[in-house]
Chain A
């Protein structure tokens, strides 16, 4: 969905490096999410945010941190990257008024940690 953008699209880094993945959206949604996708495991929730002052841990938040700089921006940081954080990372948004929580995804960031 072009309304949700992620940068970078691909990143190769080394073990121990700090890295930030960025997400921006023009949909005007309050809810934002970070997921990682691993083959055979589907999507697993890392962090989510309902507004600028609200940050919540998901099921696999260890080793990650986030920042909600504005309603439209939600960044994911790996403080000290390790190889098992190699994965495809997705940002998603949803409308606070939508009780079903239909989500809209960015194109993903493919991260490789050597």
Chain B
């Protein structure tokens, strides 16, 4: 079965430190990969996506994500965390074939402490 795993329910970092939010997937072929962010009382917002090419994808608000095909991972990173980055982050996968459906991970809550 196709799936997306976010192994950490919560990630805590200090402001100014680098952050990583992990995502691995089990999908056949070469899927499109996404990160979305959800701030309190808001809907999900698109952050970045991997289509093809360069394994490092840059997105909004200084975030970037690294695609690793051999490890089927797509980890979200930021060199220097801000308190305002505190939110719920969702990894998502859109297979190229086998039906039309984007699969979302369970979400990882990021807390950035001042």
Contact = CB atoms under 8 A, between A and B. Distances in A.
Contacts of A58: 101
Nearest to A108: B43
Contact of B43 (A40, A48, A90): A90
B38 to A, nearest CB: 8
Given A100-B51, A103-B102, A4 B43 contact: yes
A73 to B, nearest CB: 17
A45 interface: yes
Contacts, number: 54
A34 B32 CA distance: 21
B105 to A, nearest CB: 6
B104 A42 contact: yes
Nearest to B42: A107
A105 B90 contact: no
B90 A104 contact: no
B49 interface: yes
Given A1-B43, A1-B45, A107-B43, A101 B32 contact: yes
A43 interface: yes
Interface residues of B, number: 22
With a 10 A CB-CB cut-off, give which of B36, B49, B100, B102 has the most chain A CB atoms.
Answer: B102
Interface in B73-114: 90, 94, 100-102, 104-107
Nearest to B4: A42
B43 A102 contact: no
Contact of A90 (B9, B44, B107): B44
B76 to A, nearest CB: 15
Interface of B: 4, 9, 32, 34, 36, 41-46, 49, 51, 90, 94, 100-102, 104-107
Given A102-B49, A107-B43, 14 more contacts: A41-B106, A43-B44, A43-B90, A43-B104, A45-B101, A90-B43, A92-B44, A100-B32, A100-B49, A101-B102, A102-B46, A103-B36, A106-B43, A107-B42
